[in-house]
A and B are shown apart, each in its own frame.
Chain A
């Protein structure tokens, strides 16, 4: 379906879902990858840039120790991924961010480093946060080999055999990153300095490119080592297995505060996603080809759900329910009929909405967005946001009270005096300076808590403002009571950016940080969410994505819900 046809099809604007429906953690924690996700955008951009990705230098020995440089040639610049492979024991290998040794360390670099720069990188990359990094480095990252799979795959390939499909699918990656730092961390390039650079100025583009190249490197590495080990007997990993391997990532609480601290950005991401949905719900008719595409994606999602295995009981149940829901939809003999109605996507969704879980609703939403990338080009290219440093003038007490009553009903409904609504607190740990969650009655450090008790602050502010003259300006209130500035700024931002606030008590007992992580990771383009507790999850990035030599093919970016046959 061409863009023009789709556009002419949009006869009315389907209302976007309100923040009160979308900004709840149970829904945010059910999001999946969409066409708007950053991994997907990166593949589009690499294709558009006519990028050339090649091994520039390979100094890796038979044991897999050494260094490599992967060169990326874009339209207007050259970047490189610098790789160092180290020798570590199995005991030293941990997912924890506080680890001090890794199998591999990486940095995305502007240009190709000269000898002096490479020497500096070799000293500093291996110690990661403890090192001092420079402004030519766009990212800083590290990864470990998967203990479940790397050695097994290597020994299979070395004797000329392919590993089992089950093994490839169960793990889904050869290496797992434990951090990918960007935006000025530890002295690397500030994100703000990429302004005006069409390729790098998009949020998390440098980080996603780093992970994409790590995936490419991991396959190159295992094929290289298999050859070194097995010589002429060896083989390379099959194309379908290679494609089904992404890069793993262990993501913990460090990521959670981002969505609270960057109101403008979270609004932009979620608002764009909701606009995309509103556009597809407004499509009046679908041609046969597009109907089939949608049914095919539902089928792919069904197969994906069958291969999505996790230990976590709650997530397992969600996946099982998802699987049953999708089966029910696929078995409906009237599925094509539903897609033949006017406003077919809206009709299909509304037909099932009350009988399916939130997990299924959100996977359907990802499916609905998928066939129409032309319809969202403006959204895909506009996922960044300008963050306001000053507080907008022109608001008075009455305005603030009105916004609280309209936009913060969710906060006012919480009884903030109850112990369960004050169950935990957020703080920064001395160990690697990562955000953590403490238990209020058990752990020390509440005096150093981060200001994420938004609902509590809203209630306190409401009580103070009620007693002030209603025509007093917000600026005057803040001058008199600077302690209110933080929350008044949030409230004013939320007036014009209503998807900027998670509508749950972030220090309540029921709050699951994993939901915050999943929301952010879905925008990254993660798949196979594998929660290990309420506090951290494993994920896979770029599973099913095209390799650098496939970026030119038709439908390059068609890799939603990858699944492997014969598992």
Chain B
């Protein structure tokens, strides 16, 4: 295991995603979600590496309108775009999601920054997560790693059944990660750097 800072998670993640030609803003959104998940004691690194591989092989969708169970929506990349879109349009969106944890991160971020009340429901329309008063609450039975069909919408009033929800709390200063996965992320990030040239030497000291 390796202990890394949140700043390192942010900067290495967005650079790594840039190495597979993911748009700047989506790479940065993903880095912010990774940081959020790390702060909330959730795993994220394996999913990011997987997302990068799937994106590279075009086996994942970044279209909120075109996604299937075989090619689900890459919430690591477009989760924030999706929650902004749903919040703006006040619609109910339904679609296949690869990993709901990044959607939860996106919901958590927008709830805190823009105080928007959102509900995430499963295919049976059971509430799996909701945001309220800048915080996010998640069904304790939700497996965030399994690709599933979800509905996302805003709400004014909420009726919860007898489901147990847990509040995701920010409780991490330092994150311990699998060092092999971290090295892989770093080596991907390294691909975005440019080799030393005569011009590149023109920094401080020359």
A residues engaging B (CB < 8 A)? 94-99, 132, 134-135, 178, 183-193, 250-254, 388-394, 427-431, 433-434, 436-439, 442-445, 448, 451, 473-476, 478-479, 482-483, 485-486, 489, 532-533, 535-536
Q: Does B152 contact A (CB under 8 A)?
A: no
| Interface check B113, CB cutoff 8 A | yes
- Cα(A393)–Cα(B173), bound, Å: 30
Name the A residues within 8 Å of B188 (CB-CB): none
From 162 to 195 in chain B, residues with beta carbon under 8 angstroms from any chain A beta carbon are 173-174, 190, 192-195
CB distance A476 to B199 under 8 Å?
A: no
When chains A and B are docked, how far (Å) is the Cα of A94 from the Cα of B114? 48
Is B114 a contact partner of A188 (Cβ separation < 8 A)?
no
A392 and B114 form a contact (CB under 8 A): yes
Which chain B positions have C-beta within 8 A of A445? 194-195, 197
One of A96, A394, A427, A535 near B88 (C-beta < 8 A)? A394
CB-CB < 8 A to B62: which residues of A? 482
Residues of chain B contacted by A489 (CB below 8 angstroms) = 25
**B87: shortest Cβ distance to chain A, in Å?**
5
State in angstroms the CA–CA spacing of A437 and B24 once bound together: 19
A482-B5 contact given A429-B194, A476-B88, CB 8 Å threshold? no
- With A and B bound together, what is the CA distance between A47 and B204 in angstroms? 34
**Number of B residues contacting the other chain (C-beta, 8 Å)?**
50
> Which single residue of chain A is at the shortest CB-CB distance from B5?
A184
Q: Is the CB of B194 within 8 A of A448?
A: yes
Tell me the complex Cα distance, A192–B113, Å. Answer: 16
Is B70 on the interface with A (CB-CB < 8 A)?
A: no
User: Is B196 in contact with A430, judged by CB distance below 8 angstroms?
Assistant: yes
Given the contacts A187-B5, A389-B32, A473-B89, A95 and B205 also touching, CB distance less than 8 Å: yes
* A388 and B113 contact, CB distance less than 8 A: yes
CB atoms of B88 and A473 under 8 A apart? yes
A250-B204, A428-B194, A475-B88 known; A135 vs B114 contact (CB < 8 Å):
no
Binds A, one of B41-49, B78-86, B129-137: B78-86
Q: Hey, which chain B residues are within 8 Å of A254, CB to CB?
A: 203-204
Listed A/B pairs (13) with beta-carbon separation below 8 Å: A94-B205, A96-B205, A178-B204, A184-B5, A184-B8, A253-B202, A388-B113, A390-B80, A393-B116, A436-B194, A436-B203, A444-B195, A445-B195
CB neighbours (8 Å) of A442 from chain B are 199
Contacts of B205 in A (CB 8 A): 94-97, 99, 178, 250, 252, 536
Q: Tell me whether A486 and B6 are in contact (CB under 8 A).
A: no
- CB pair A253–B78 under 8 Å, yes or no, is no
Given contacts A94-B205, A252-B204, A394-B88, 16 further A-B contacts (CB under 8 A): A95-B205, A189-B173, A252-B205, A253-B202, A390-B113, A393-B84, A428-B194, A438-B197, A439-B199, A444-B195, A473-B85, A475-B81, A475-B85, A485-B25, A533-B206, A536-B206
For A132, list chain B residues within 8 Å (CB).
2
Chain A residues with Cβ below 8 Å from B78 are: 479, 482
Given A134-B3, A135-B5, are A479 and B199 also a contact pair (CB < 8 Å)? Answer: no
- Assess the A444–B197 pair: CB atoms within 8 A: yes
With CB as the reference atom, state the residue of chain B lying closest to A187. Answer: B5
Contact A187 B206 (CB under 8 A): no
Q: What is B's interface to A at a CB cutoff of 8 Å? A: 2-8, 15, 18, 23-26, 28-29, 32, 62, 64, 78, 80-85, 87-89, 106, 109-110, 113-114, 116, 173-174, 190, 192-197, 199-200, 202-206
A308–B104 alpha-carbon span in the complex (Å): 56
- State whether B3 touches A253 (Cβ < 8 A): no
For B2, list chain A residues within 8 Å (CB).
132
B3 and A451: CB pair below 8 A? Answer: no
Whether A393 lies near B26 (C-beta < 8 A) is no
Min CB–CB distance A45 → chain B (angstroms): 23
A-chain residues with CB within 8 Å of residue B204 when the two chains form the complex? 95-97, 178, 250-254, 532, 535-536
**A431 CA to B195 CA in the complex, in Å?**
7
* A437–B202 touching, CB < 8 Å: yes
Query: Which single member of B18, B84, B195, B200 contacts A390 (CB below 8 Å)?
Result: B84
Contact status B203-A97, CB under 8 Å: yes
Bound-state CA distance A539–B136 (Å) is 47
In the complex, what distance in Å separates the CA atom of A428 from the CA atom of B25? 18
Let me know if B25 and A482 touch, CB within 8 A. Answer: yes
CA of A345 to CA of B84, assembled, Å: 47
Q: Which residues of A contact B89 (CB under 8 A)?
A: 473, 475-476
Q: Give the complex CA separation of A95 and B202 in angstroms.
A: 12
Give 3 nearest A-B pairs by CB, closest first: A184-B7, A252-B204, A184-B5
Name which of B24, B25, B32, B85 has the most chain A CB atoms within 10 A of its CB: B25
Decide: A479 and B85 in contact? CB cutoff 8 A: yes
Instruction: Report how far A540 CA is from B172 CA in the complex, Å.
Output: 37
Q: Are B200 and A478 in touch, CB under 8 angstroms?
A: no
Q: Taking each of B64, B113, B194, which has the highest tally of chain A beta carbons within 10 Å of its own beta carbon?
A: B194
Which among B15, B193, B195 has the highest number of chain A CB atoms within 10 Å?
B193
A184-B7, A390-B114 given; A535·B25 CB < 8 A = no
Partner of A535, one of B4, B87, B203: B203
Residues of A with C-beta under 8 A to B196: 429-431
Nearest-CB residue, chain B, relative to A430 = B193
| Min CB gap A253→B, angstroms | 5
**CA A393 to CA B80, docked complex, whole Å:** 12
- Looking at the assembled complex, report how far the CB atom of A79 sits from the nearest CB atom of chain B, in whole angstroms: 17
Q: In the bound complex, what is the Cα–Cα distance between A191 and B193 (angstroms)?
A: 25
Chain A residue with the shortest CB-CB distance to B90: A393
Contacts of A192 in B (CB 8 A): 6
From A481, which residue of chain B is reached at the shortest CB distance? Answer: B23
CA distance A498 to B81 in the complex (A): 24
